[in-house]
Amino acid sequence: MEDTLVSPPDIQIARGNNEIASVVGLNVWLRRARQESHILKDVDLKIGKGEIVALVGESGSGKSVLGMTLLGLLPKSSRPRIEGEVSILGSKITSISQKELQGLRRHSLSAIFQDPMSSLNPSMKIASQMKEVTKELDRALFALRQVAIKEPESVLGRYPFELSGGQRQRVMIAMALAKEPALIVADEPTTALDVSVQAQILYLIKQLRADFGTGFLFVTHDLGVAAEIADTVVVLLAGRVLEKGPTKEILSFPAHPYTKELIASRLTMDQDQSLRLRTNPKDQFAGFSSDGCPYANRCENALDLCLVEFPGVSMVQDNWTIACHNPSPSPKAVAVEIKTMERRSDLDWNKKVVLEAIAIEKSFQSRTSRSGSRQVLTNVDLTLHQGEVVSLVGESGSGKSTFLRILAGLEKESSGTIIRHDDTMPKMVFQDSGSSLTPWLSVRELLKEALSSKTLSKAEIAKEVEDVAAKVDLSTQVLNSRAASLSGGQRQRVAIARCVISPPSVLLCDEPTSALDASLVAGALNLLLSLSESLEMAMVFVTHDLAVARYVSSRIMVMLGGRVVESGDSNEVCSNPLHPYTRMLLDSLPGERRGNSPQEALGRQPDISGVDNELSAVGCAFANRCPNAIEICRTTTPVATYISSNRYAACHLVKGGTK
Amino acid sequence: MTTLAPALSKRGAIQSIRWDRHKIAVLALAAVTLVALLAPVLAPYNPLVPVDQPFMVPFGAAHLLGTDSVGRDVLSRVLYGVRSSWLSAIAVISFGVLLGGTIGMIAGVSGSKIDSILMRITDGFLAFPGPVLAIAVVASLGASLLHTLIAVAIVWWPFYARIVRAEARAIMSRPHIEAAKTFGVGYFRLALRHVLPGVVPAVIVTASLDVGNLVIALSGLSFLGLGAPAPSPELGAMAARNLQYLLQQWWVCVMPALAIAVMAIISNFAGDALRDFGSRGQ
């Protein structure tokens, strides 16, 4: 576990000298909902030349506010009050004039945001947007080449919507770099991207800071990403810095109990599938006194002192500090000892089949050209047994969500057959559970209408609702409140309860954890798995995260360009991928480089040639990106090659037979 | 970025002041409605018969707004005028909301063919020129408030059909509708519980803005002689008939005009206020 989170020690940057930004005793108050709240508390931070500082924390921890403070971009409307010192290249941005601040931003500061689509002007071509920063077209072209974008000349002539997500983010980075700033604030720059593109972008950022000596403040919620990219990690909770120090040391030997929990709750490839995930038993949202440690209520080491007084900063090593009264006794970072009812990979193939999808194809009428239609699914088969969990993984655009929507009956297949063996429609847990709940209805009403049997009496209905609420751990108070007023975790549980109040034989989950904070993911997965077992529901689980797929499912189907390119037992697919595409997905997982030697890790660096996830039009869809591609890959689409009765890959290089 | 979004979406600094101004606007809307309803109680004199000397100056002890050319109390006539304009406006809007809203909901929720047919019919009505239709109706049926209202209502409801349909379409494309469908929620319940509550705020805002528009439109028609016939206290007609006294006995003409302006302004402010409350709630 410790080994997997360590980043390759590539470019050694001298810390301390050549300081670009320093934050000393920073306190920030913002007005929200007509109340002033203390967002950042006594934050100290230094960013050196060419250093990447990762700011890690849950949503609401104040990490974005810190980034905005460094940029001098806190919204005026929230009437920010800043105490303490923020200096960038020696000038204190809290005391300089607006004009000087603008000058500083123009020449030495840049920002990269999460969603490049909304940060780029949709009505301007890339060329004119880049010229605002670079003045000359030549320099814009040069900047695009720096970020290894393919065909930079043609990209310049396009609008943002004509580019892929990865290309857009590259353009944003190119714009940020064009003026050769001293500091770039990157706020979750890879969260909206596919893992494979994310790996490319992270590698690119590391290269660029080495070439230009740019300092980065890298805001992220993902420890894996931080491990991959950062020299220094700063752990933030409720506006307080709890731990700060060199990435390798912190992630291998976390000193603060909160950091330990963050690391322990990460779902990794080594997670034992027969055990439940570890969740923090204490209520995360219990209020805490603003003077105490924000983690005190959840902390297993908490002393009485922790509740009332925030601990002073103490040194662990050089450049490594924590703020904790009682760091020593380490909580057991192990899975809760609840065995699942069966080891899920020992699935009984003789169990009855609940759902069959045979040769599903789907094409959408193209809007731009009259003649063409876009093929999104080609010949997808799926047989689902009672109680079985199957994961569909793949990059965005691979057709996995479309397939799920067809199974749910939300989309009509163009050809192929779906056989639902017990005639009930599958239920679906949507990706963003918040928006799948009608905001003005009460939870009770939402649950009631999901009951499939319409012949129940009032009392029976009420009882069903109470029962399902108990199953997913929702209080009566939650039942009576409107969907819009719930927290993220509650919404997720309501969405799940709505599906299981009349248990379907098949539950479809579309990225059910991707919108959740890391601390809630484990609870949601535990809940889904225990329901699937107790109700004998089969589940189809769409995810882009192979670690999640491996943990929840017995079978993984890897999709690419609307086809299933690999399928098999989840452990086998993850430990011994047959298709080079699966291998690439596994290698792209941040913080999951299993090669321990730096050379090996570096040898697996992603290709940054800017191909992104472009698909080949003829032949194997992966041929463009495949390191092993041979002539036939570019001309003929491979068919499924079986190496055992339930394990196959669609690759010309895999030897085996047809079914 | 996510943490900053709520802060950016609010206007912060001026928020607390707006709050109070907004409250006042909505209270004023309620007050005008109350005045309209209670006009018979509030009016000191019978508005239809002469009660004193003609052209008594306003702000006197007996007649707050003076008397008109035949000695009728201007205050009483204005109060009754407010009553008739305001209640007529609300009646036309209620009709519009009911008919237009129903058609808009059916079109928005069902989509496709039914949507196209209903909306083309709506467009047909939208194409009628309002004043011309009013003149035609009154010319053929005779001058009466009811006839004017019928004419206005015919051209007014399509706006509501369009608004409700647009809002319903927008809500229908949201994920929670798709989710509800997967749980087997029927169309009727879908429209009533999952779509309608989301449409209501927009309709309330539009309606309260619209009261002012209608007051002006109806007064305009009555100014042209297309409202209730002579003795009845209509604000537009009062302003029109007493225009000749504007330079000497200005109050007879100005007071009803002022009442129209006040109603229009209050309705506008209240509409703005309700819109802001709505956007804050979401």
Angle at B179 (CA atoms; ends B177, B184), nearest 5 degrees: 95
Check CB contact of B3 with chain A, cutoff 8 Å: yes
Rounded CA-CA distance B194/B167 in Å is 12
- Beta strands in A340-399, from DSSP E residues, in sequence order: 353-365, 373-385, 389-393
Q: What residues of chain A lie within 8 A of the CB of B186, using their CB?
A: none
pLDDT given for residue A336 in this prediction: 45
pLDDT given for residue A3 in this prediction: 42
pTM, to two decimals: 0.77
Check CB contact of A531 with chain B, cutoff 8 Å: no
Residue pair A564/A381 in contact by the 8 Å Cβ criterion = yes
Rounded CA-CA distance A311/A243 in Å is 12
Here the ipTM equals 0.74
How many beta-carbon pairs below 8 A join chains A and B? Answer: 91
Q: Partners of A541 in the beta sheet?
A: A391, A509
Give me the residue from B3, B182, B198 closest to A65, CB to CB: B3
Domain borders along chain B are 17-281
pLDDT given for residue A646 in this prediction: 82
A616 confidence band (pLDDT: 50, 70, 90): low
- For residue A485, give both structure tokens: 């007023």
pLDDT given for residue B282 in this prediction: 42
The helix or strand, by DSSP H or E, that contains position A637, with its residue range, turns out to be none
pLDDT given for residue A615 in this prediction: 67
Phi and psi based region of residue B76 (left: phi greater than 0; alpha: psi -120 to 50; beta: remaining): alpha
pLDDT given for residue B109 in this prediction: 92
CATH architecture of the domain covering B17-281: Orthogonal Bundle (1.10)
Mutate to test the interface with B, among A39, A63, A77, A496 (most CBs of B within 10 A): A77
Rounded CA-CA distance A55/B241 in Å is 75
Whether the predicted pLDDT of A388 surpasses 80 = yes
Report CB contact under 8 Å: B6, A445. no
> A371 vs B39, which has greater pLDDT?
B39
DSSP state of A339: B
Mutate to test the interface with B, among A429, A443, A444, A449 (most CBs of B within 10 A): A449
Residue that has been written with the tokens 């857009």 in this structure: A168
Q: Taking residues A494-501, report their average pLDDT.
A: 91
Rounded CA-CA distance B40/B79 in Å is 8
- For residue A333, give both structure tokens: 């970072």
The C-alpha of A79 sits at a distance from chain B's nearest C-alpha, in angstroms, of 7
Whether the predicted pLDDT of A492 surpasses 60 = yes
Whether the predicted pLDDT of A61 surpasses 90 = no
Report the range of poorest mean pLDDT among A533-542, A606-615, B218-227: A606-615
Whether the predicted pLDDT of A598 surpasses 60 = no
- For residue B126, give both structure tokens: 């939208």
Q: Give the residue from chain B lying closest to A61, CA to CA.
A: B3
Residue pair B275/B205 in contact by the 8 Å Cβ criterion = yes
Rounded CA-CA distance A634/B137 in Å is 75
Q: For residue B255, give the 3-state DSSP assignment.
A: helix
Q: Give the residue from chain A lying closest to B16, CA to CA.
A: A34
B106 confidence band (pLDDT: 50, 70, 90): very high
Q: Partners of A380 in the beta sheet?
A: A360
**CB neighbours of residue B240 within 10 Å:** 20
pLDDT digit string, tens, across residues B60-101? 777 788 788 788 888 888 899 889 889 999 999 999 999 999
Check CB contact of A564 with chain B, cutoff 8 Å: no
Give me the residue from A409, A432, A438 closest to B180, CB to CB: A438
Angle at A604 (CA atoms; ends A603, A607), nearest 5 degrees: 105
pLDDT digit string, tens, across residues A227-278? 888 889 999 888 888 888 888 888 888 888 888 878 877 777 777 777 777 6
How far from B119 is each of B108, B109, B122, B187, CA to CA, in Å?
10, 13, 5, 19
Q: Write the single-letter amino acid at B194.
A: H
pLDDT given for residue A223 in this prediction: 83
B223 confidence band (pLDDT: 50, 70, 90): confident
Q: Taking residues A558-581, report their average pLDDT.
A: 89
Count Cα atoms within 13 angstroms, Cβ side, for A41.
20
Q: For residue A520, give the 3-state DSSP assignment.
A: helix
Share of chain A above pLDDT 90, in %: 8
The C-alpha of B1 sits at a distance from chain A's nearest C-alpha, in angstroms, of 6
The C-alpha of A428 sits at a distance from chain B's nearest C-alpha, in angstroms, of 7
Check CB contact of B13 with chain A, cutoff 8 Å: yes
Residues 6+ apart with CB under 8 A from A62: A28, A39, A40, A236, A238, A239, B3
Residue that has been written with the tokens 């012949």 in this structure: A455
Rounded CA-CA distance A19/A91 in Å is 12
pLDDT given for residue A404 in this prediction: 92
- Write out the residue limits of the CATH 3.40.50.300 domain(s) in chain A: 3-269+279-323, 353-426+504-588+615-649
pLDDT given for residue A558 in this prediction: 93
- For residue A187, give both structure tokens: 């706020």
- Greatest Cα-to-Cα distance within chain B, rounded to the nearest angstrom: 75
Whether the predicted pLDDT of B162 surpasses 70 = yes
Q: Tell me which residue of A233, A217, A236, A170 sits closest to A611, measured CA to CA.
A: A170
Q: Tell me which residue of B220, B91, B236 sits closest to B156, measured CA to CA.
A: B91
The C-alpha of A319 sits at a distance from chain B's nearest C-alpha, in angstroms, of 28
Report CB contact under 8 Å: B7, A428. no
Whether the predicted pLDDT of B178 surpasses 60 = yes
A8 confidence band (pLDDT: 50, 70, 90): very low
> A259 vs A32, which has greater pLDDT?
A259
The helix or strand, by DSSP H or E, that contains position A265, with its residue range, turns out to be none
**Of the CATH numbers 3.40.50.300, 3.40.50.2300, 1.10.3720.10, 3.40.250.10, which one belongs to the domain with range A353-426+504-588+615-649?**
3.40.50.300
pLDDT given for residue B108 in this prediction: 93
Whether the predicted pLDDT of A414 surpasses 50 = yes
Instruction: Give every strand in the sheet of A35-48, ordered side by side.
Output: A35-48, A19-32, A81-88, A91-92
The C-alpha of A173 sits at a distance from chain B's nearest C-alpha, in angstroms, of 17
Q: Tell me which residue of A387, A313, A384 sits closest to A537, measured CA to CA.
A: A387
Check CB contact of B1 with chain A, cutoff 8 Å: yes
A507 confidence band (pLDDT: 50, 70, 90): very high
Report CB contact under 8 Å: B182, A410. yes
Angle at B108 (CA atoms; ends B103, B109), nearest 5 degrees: 105
pLDDT digit string, tens, across residues A69-113? 888 888 877 788 888 888 888 788 877 888 888 888 888 888 888
Check CB contact of A439 with chain B, cutoff 8 Å: yes
Check CB contact of A35 with chain B, cutoff 8 Å: no
- For residue A479, give both structure tokens: 């039942």
Report CB contact under 8 Å: A33, B6. yes
pLDDT given for residue A104 in this prediction: 83
> A367 vs A634, which has greater pLDDT?
A634
Q: What residues of chain A lie within 8 A of the CB of B198, using their CB?
A: 439-440
pLDDT given for residue B172 in this prediction: 92
Give me the residue from A77, A425, A438 closest to B10, CB to CB: A77
Instruction: Look at chain B and count its residues.
Output: 282
Check CB contact of A332 with chain B, cutoff 8 Å: no
The mean predicted confidence, pLDDT, of chain A is 80
Report the range of poorest mean pLDDT among A127-136, A288-297, A304-313, A377-386: A288-297
pLDDT digit string, tens, across residues A330-387? 544 444 444 444 444 455 566 788 888 998 988 887 666 555 677 888 889 998 988 8
CATH of domain A3-269+279-323: 3.40.50.300
pLDDT given for residue A369 in this prediction: 56
